[in-house]
Amino acid sequence: NLFRGNKDEIELSRFRDEYFEILLESDVSLETVEYILDMFQQKHVKQKRLKRTEAIESLKEILLEILLKAKPSVDLLNINRKPLVIMFIGINGTGKTTTIARLSYMLKNKGKSVVVAASDTFRAGAIEQIRYHGDELGIRVISQTMGSDPSAIAFDAIEHARARNLDFVLIDTAGRMQTNKNLMDEMKKIKRVAKPDMTFLTVDAMAASDAIEQATTFLKDIKFDGIVVNKLDTDARGGAIFSIAHMFKEPIYFLGVGQKMEELIPYDPQFIIKKIFG
Amino acid sequence: MALDNLSSSLRETFRKITGSSYIDKNVIKEMIRDIQRALLKADVNVKLTLDLSRKIEERSENEKPPAGMTPQDYILKIVYEELLAILGKSSNLKIQPQTIMLVGLYGQGKTTTAGKLARFFIKKGLSTGFVACDVHRPAAFEQLRTLSEQTGAKFFGIKGEKNPVKIFNQSIEELKDIQVKIVDTSGRDSLDSDLLDEITKLKKAVNPDEVLLVIDATVGQQAGPQAKSLMDATGLTGVIITKMDGTGKAGGALSAVAQTGVPVYMIGTGEHLEDFEIFSPKKFLGRLLGM
Ligand SMILES: Nc1nc2c(ncn2[C@@H]2O[C@H](COP(=O)(O)OP(=O)(O)OP(=O)(O)O)[C@@H](O)[C@H]2O)c(=O)[nH]1
Ligand SMILES: Nc1nc2c(ncn2[C@@H]2O[C@H](COP(=O)(O)OP(=O)(O)OP(=O)(O)O)[C@@H](O)[C@H]2O)c(=O)[nH]1
Ligand SMILES: [K+]
Ligand SMILES: [Mg+2]
Ligand SMILES: [Mg+2]
């Protein structure tokens, strides 16, 4: 438990050393850890010692403040646009397809209508995977065969939604390494054709400093409006969320906390403090 | 490519050492600090980083370079040796009939790696088959079946069957003429005791020659604990690091290697089946340090 503590006084320099290690071990990036501990030091310039419980509360305040910077200010349910088209991007295996399934489920439960575009036409089994979810959820998935043009499928799904007056179009894309220019170009093409209202980047909570590299490159090359952090139910402590909140202005919309349909939750800083740090 | 940043910061440190006219405690301290930062930025486990730098520091202060070697070069040698020690033993997959089971976290590349391994063994002239024991992920069955069509590996799976042990047992007869069997399993983590229990049972039933941990280059500090729990549950024999084509620094994956003490056999360098390379710790480190 990161915030364990007692009423004994502690030397603040020792406290900082201790939390330097603990924060790094939670996958907060080195720069962000240094920023957090600098903030802490500035807050307590005049003090050499504090009760441990007080020091912990003070650090917690700083952490919470950082997390609050990543809170979204728009509610997806209250955007006046029909259909609202959301495209999902991210590196391989970060949970794009599962997020689309879980978000479809969430939207459907709120009385919204959804169509999904199976625009990952590259990975073996990708079309079957999203179709499986569609069948389970009773949600229409627009798909073609492996290897067909992902942009055309996205376009078809949007047409489908327009014709039937549906609320949401969710576009699944193939996992793409941000270092692969050809594949990134293909993703840009989907975006050009589909003109999504929003683009979400998915990242894996197990990833550490690389989550920042991913977000930096995707932001530069494709742009995104929001982030989803997945797999927070695993032993991942999700410290990368602090780095994301600290370094990007794009908010975190959802947290993936399991593979079940109800295991996508709205971003919640308190949850992260509790969930990640016990 | 993975590790480029680590590489450039370590090289910078090396340049500083070779450039300094004499070595004293302060130079060593500064070097240690630089190495620590470089490793931490590459997501190498914190404890491992501290252990490693302590060892390098001790050896640099206490050992005397052999005649004819400058202290500077001797320190570089120490750093090289200690980094090599965490990269693990050098060992490769054997080109012979065998059963290989793939295990690891969600979405790290197990199924894709099954495809890459099949292509690898088939090219070596060994008949290869898949057993589809991922009973959880939607369309894991279809994903592996598609990979069998792409590689020419034989496929065995039972759609809808939820017990992987049953699937494996039934595959034995079907794949009895196949030389290399590759068993794909579901993603799992150490907090899910049902899934750990499942993999322990499956491992018993399969009795594989190799249990390979598939872990991707982006994973951070929790890689070690994860690997340890899979080590305990299945007795890992080797590691495959995937997604080395991204910017992931592989520090987490390498920490998992250090923690389990098993060799890295192969690395994945892309989504395509041919994006697969044999791993050599010495070559890897050589490239990393520009030596
Ligand atoms: N435990 C857990 N697993 C998750 C979560 N989100 C996704 N997964 C799993 O991670 C794996 C990869 O998820 P996908 O949704 O296929 O990821 P993707 O980004 O679409 O992958 P590609 O299309 O191959 O790039 C699957 O096994 C999912 O079940 C989560 O929040 N928790
Ligand atoms: N760029 C790149 N992508 C890879 C590599 N290896 C696997 N992938 C991709 O990573 C994603 C996940 O791969 P899978 O093989 O489905 O991973 P898995 O471990 O079987 O996933 P689960 O069964 O859901 O736990 C896919 O998009 C793969 O194409 C690699 O070396 N480089
Ligand atoms: K090897
Ligand atoms: Mg997908
Ligand atoms: Mg799989």
> What pLDDT digit, counting tens, does each position of B105-154 carry?
999 999 999 999 999 999 999 999 999 999 999 999 999 999 999 999 99
The count of residues in chain A is 278
- Residues, CB-to-ion distance under 5 Å, ligand 4: A 96-97
Query: What is d(CA B215, CA B233) in angstroms, rounded to the nearest whole number?
Result: 16
Q: Is A236 on the interface with B (CB under 8 A)?
A: yes
CB B268 within 8 A of CB B240: yes
Distance in Å, CA A158 to ligand 3 centroid:
48
Widest CA span of chain B, in angstroms? Answer: 70
- Report chain B residues whose CB lies below 8 A from the CB of A210: 43, 217-218, 220, 246-249
Q: Is the ipTM of this complex over 0.85?
A: yes
Query: What is d(CA B204, CA A210) in angstroms, rounded to the nearest whole number?
Result: 36
Contacts of B47 (CB under 8 A, 6+ apart): none
Query: What is d(CA A174, CA A87) in angstroms, rounded to the nearest whole number?
Result: 11
As a whole-number percent, the residues of chain A with pLDDT over 70 amount to 96
pLDDT tens-digit series, residues B64-92? 899 998 888 888 889 889 989 888 788 99
pLDDT at A151: 96
pLDDT at B30: 87
The count of residues in chain B is 291
Binary contact (A92, B218; C-beta < 8 A): no
Binary contact (A92, B270; C-beta < 8 A): no
- Report chain B residues whose CB lies below 8 A from the CB of A214: 218, 246-247
pLDDT at A6: 63
pLDDT at A256: 97
pLDDT tens-digit series, residues A123-147? 999 999 999 999 999 999 999 999 9
Is pLDDT of A25 > 50?
yes
Binary contact (B137, A129; C-beta < 8 A): yes
Query: What is d(CA B276, CA A123) in angstroms, rounded to the nearest whole number?
Result: 17
Is pLDDT of B275 > 60?
yes
pLDDT at A277: 63
Query: What is d(CA B39, CA B288) in angstroms, rounded to the nearest whole number?
Result: 12
Q: How many CB atoms lie within 10 A of CB B169?
A: 13
Binary contact (B136, A259; C-beta < 8 A): yes
Q: What part of B 35-54 touches A (C-beta under 8 Å)?
A: 37, 40-43, 45-46
CB B232 within 8 A of CB B256: no
Is pLDDT of A87 > 50?
yes
pLDDT tens-digit series, residues B178-215? 999 999 999 999 889 999 999 999 999 999 999 999 99
Q: Minimum mean pLDDT among A169-173, A248-252, A270-274, B279-283: which range?
A: A270-274
pLDDT at B4: 63
Q: How many CB atoms lie within 10 A of CB A212?
A: 21
pLDDT at B153: 98
* Closest by CA position to B234, among listed B192, B181, B196, B194: B196
